[in-house]
Amino acid sequence: MAVLRTSSLVKRFPGVLALDRFDIEFEAGRIHALVGENGAGKSTLVKILSGVYPPTSGQVLWEGSPVRFDSPRDAGGRVGVVHQERELIPHFTGYENLFLGLEHSSFGFLKKRRMEEEALKFLGRYRMNVDLSLPAYRLSSGQQAMLAILKVLFRDPRVVIFDEPTAPLSVAECEVLFSLIRDLKENGRAVLYISHRLSEVLRIADRITVMRNGCKVATVSGSEVDEDGLIRLMIAKDLENQYPKFPAAIGENVFAAQDYRAPGAGIHGVSFSIRAGEIVGFAGLVGSGRTELAKSVFAGSRGSQGKLTLSGKNFRSKSARDSIDQGVVMIPENRREEGLVAEMDVGSNLIFPKLDLYTRLGFVNKKKAQAAAENAVEKYGIKAFGLSQLVRTLSGGNQQKVSVGKWDLAQAKLWIFDEPTQGIDVDAKTEIYSIMGRVAGAGSGVWFISSELRELTSIADRIYVMKEGRITAEYSRPYDGERILDSMIL
């Protein structure tokens, strides 16, 4: 019998049918994966199963009996969710985050030693390298993700949902996570694994359910389908060109670095170039220095040395604003915190980088600003019900397109894309590749950082490999994927 299942589950929002008579079941000791494009209904299902939303109709059944979770706390003892956005209190230690809401106390005083002993004993059950004595903000991104997972498991749920868990993790940390998930399976837990990384899904899932437009398209065995088959089910068509590569005339150097050093960012004497019309990929493991290099160039780094040139002229940035004014823009890895103002609407996000173009004597020409925002929405294929929609309510792919579209009028010479397809669906990824191709085709240089080797070898004209803050190899087409991977690891 299934531990948890849904029966004809329906969820309606004003003007939107998010789930349409959806059925799925989770069995003890099985890993069930859920895939689908952004907007397919995955998040809505998770929020119903975890008590955030009530269903409009249909049932959730626990061991065959109808159950209703009125809040996440109500569901927490049975269903635990590891969210893509880590739910940690930054200034609380690992111990304090772990015991949040479960504290041991006596006469109003916390029993810290008892809590630490229990936490260490619990940590010993899993092979995770997390210093629980440190405040969460001092942990690396990967360790914060591991702490968020431990926080969920500490509550001992029988059903564990992982929502895009590997996005911030290194290769080694991913292996630890997969080992943990297998342990949960062996110990009789039911696991729901949600990811846009189809290779991961195929690697660990016993069963895979594909969603499209709020409906279940199919449930298949992980051993009877491949990545192309899943893509066809997800988008209802053959994806003939998942990685579109547009021809572009390669010109002179747009940007070049010679023996560039940024001690504060851990960058040690790198030299590279990016030409007009060229997409240059940067490969490497998490922590290799790819993002640190890009940020130090874009936002400036105190004490940096070496020579940087932009269109043949000396370049040195004092700030992100300075770089933008000189013709360099960046689409950051963490789009929600660094690339967008989540509480602002779509229109405001699209025009605020160049608000001066629509301002005269301190007054904004709203008609011109709106026309520019509408043009960007159309040009970049942003799906929103209007310019007034809050950016945080968009799907990940559409958020990313807003993050790119806001630079439409910047007339940038160099575009830096840092993990631009992370956490977005297959169709949205293809659109991002197309946007990068159009940017290069217009004569700009593209600096493309990615952890997905397949997309780098498909999209990039050249690839640099970074390791420990240094460029260790350079490759040109045709690529040898195994050789590049060896350069990253060895």
Q: What is the pLDDT of residues 465-475, one digit of tens each?
A: 999 999 999 99
Q: How far apart are the first and last CA of the chain?
A: 47
Matching fold, domains 4-235 and 253-327+411-489: yes
Please say whether the beta carbons of 282 and 290 come within 8 A: yes
| Statement: residue 429 has pLDDT above 80 | yes
Closest CA to 301 of 331, 257, 333: 257
pLDDT classification of 212: cutoffs 50, 70, 90: confident
Task: Judge if the upstream peptide bond of residue 478 is cis by omega within 30 degrees of 0.
Answer: yes
User: What pLDDT shows up at residue 241?
Assistant: 66
pLDDT-derived band at 276, boundaries 50, 70, 90 = very high
Judge whether residue 354 has pLDDT over 80: no
Fold for 4-235, please state it: Rossmann fold (3.40.50)
Identify the band that residue 339 occupies on the pLDDT scale cut at 50, 70 and 90: confident
Model confidence at 457, pLDDT cuts 50, 70, 90, reads: very high
In the chain, where the domains are located: 4-235, 253-327+411-489
Average pLDDT of span 266-282:
96
Q: What percent of the chain has pLDDT over 70?
A: 97
Q: What pLDDT is recorded for position 370?
A: 87
pLDDT digits (tens, 9 = 90+) for 31-60: 999 998 766 888 889 999 999 999 999 999
Nearest in space to 383 (alpha carbons), one of 365, 362, 401: 401
pLDDT at 96: 85
Is the predicted pLDDT of residue 237 greater than 60, yes or no?
A: no
From 82-96, 200-214, 306-320, the region with the lowest mean pLDDT: 82-96
Provide the pLDDT for residue 385: 83
Average pLDDT over all residues of the chain: 87
Taking CA atoms, 10 is separated from 5, 7, 196, 305, in Å, by: 14, 9, 24, 59
Q: What digits encode the pLDDT tens for the residues 129-154? A: 788 888 888 887 778 888 888 888 88
The Cα diameter of the chain in Å comes to 74
Q: Three-state DSSP class for 268?
A: strand
Element (H, E) at 376: helix 366-379
Tokens 């041991």 belong to residue? 104
- Residues 337 and 403: their CA atoms lie apart, in Å, by 11
Q: Is this prediction's pTM over 0.75?
A: no
3-class SS of residue 168 = coil
What per-residue confidence (pLDDT) applies to 97?
85
Write down the residue that tokens 């300075």 correspond to.
Answer: 322
Residue 5 CB contacts under 8 Å (≥ 6 apart), including other chains = 23, 24, 25, 26, 60, 61
CATH superfamily for domain 253-327+411-489: P-loop containing nucleotide triphosphate hydrolases (3.40.50.300)
Answer yes or no: is pLDDT of 425 > 80: no
Specify the residue for token string 């915190």: 337
